[in-house]
Structure 1
Amino acid sequence: MTFSFEDKVVLVTGAAAGLGRSTAEAFAARGAKVVISDINEEVGRGTVKGLGDHAIFVHADVADPQAMQQVVDTVLERFGRLDIAYNNAGVELTPNPLAEQSLEEFDRVIAVNVLGVFNSMHAEIPAMLASGGGVIVNASSGLGLRGIPMQSPYVASKHAVQGLTKSAALEYAAQGIRINAVAIGVIDSPLYKTAVATTPGYKERIWSRQPNGRIGTTDEVADTVMWLASDASSYVVGASITLDGGQAVT
């Protein structure tokens, strides 16, 4: 399926690298005006240079509500509207049993993964209401649908994203804003490549757990986000589309 986002204004958080960058590139290649936001200014500005003349970078920490409001204000000042938002920014953590996780680490994960999504939607929704509607896609995880040892703060944060998505979707569906989530599993991303390079046996262990026998690609994530952002999914509201090769049903 092909998509066109001509004349659409798209905001992608956590887009300096990884899945956010791939999705921002996909939107830009299909005609969108793209605003990428990230805490990493140097990498973010380098990324936006490859997205064409109708792309800008705005530095922001999603955990800061004022910063996210400024991002949306900048979008409106530059392009006059906000049509689509992919709230992708997130952090992971060092695996440990719950009793060995620090409160500081828990707070960090919740601040970015949960408050970051809340802050983003809190700023994006009024902008979309002002122009008659829009689409929001929140990045969750396959671990937002189940549990796994050694990752309790991260798992809790992604379960929270599922709840935020469903509740907000019910609140704004009648006002023309569709809100959905993508529950992403293991993807062949820079983070995955780093883990393979630094952790002996990591690749073999991950692949052995995949029911479909492989991991996902960044293009598959981008395609799913674009489908959710397009009119092709106009009847999809409050859903969580799972991209994990079957992990969630094992």
Structure 2
Amino acid sequence: MRIATASDVQDGDFVVEILPEAPSTNAVLADRARDGAPERLVIVTEHQTSGRGRLDRTWETPLHSALTFSALLRPPVEQVPPHRWPWLPLVAGLAVTSVLREEGYAVGLKWPNDVLLRTSSGEERKVCGILVERIETPDGPAAVVGIGLNTSLTPEELPVPAATSLEIESGGPVDRTTLLLHLLRGLFGHYVDWVADPDGLRPAYAAASVTLGRQVRAELPDGQTLVGTATAIDETGRLVIATEQGEQAVGAGDVVHLRPVQ
């Protein structure tokens, strides 16, 4: 199912530019930001050929199978100090989770921002990935929020066995245009709340989390492993893990893999 319009969409609060194909919507939007693009410009593509994720992982999104888009944010420096920026990926993950729950999907957040969909067999499978990149522009730092939501991928098209799509689990078609607009309103709404109170979304994030309260194993870049109970998210977005040696906080950039302890 195509996104309904091939022209730019203007919603009053944001402008959406739809590209038939793009290597990476984050890369396209980053270039636009450096050229002076305003906050809330959104780049969407029907076919992403070189998508990027954490740790420089790459993938290709099959044509018309997902919602793949990036949104430009310019957090005001007087309200959001630099040490709060690591919360932006969590804000984006919470926004997607909140919208999908409103749409009736049984989803939750794996720290920091993977959106997991509960299957009919009770498994939690990844349905959405998010990559937020900070870039420097002539107008100051900006954030490019990239979101890839599997809407209609078939089982054969899934990038990894632990992934799924909305249509696989719901058994029905997804109106991508309507869902895209819902997601953007949710994203910008959560962003406004975060700018007004950078610590105010912590309770909502905790309520949506499928990580907090669980035994987890955090694999670190130097080969070390932390094992313990995920107990909290701190003010900078780090995950607090209660280990036998005491509480330790890790940031998203500090962790190669975070897995539940079976």
Structure with greater strand share of residues: 2
Q: Higher relative contact order by CA 8 Å / sep ≥ 6: 1 or 2?
A: 1
Q: Would the TM-score normalized by the shorter structure come out above 0.5?
A: no
Structure with greater helix share of residues: 1
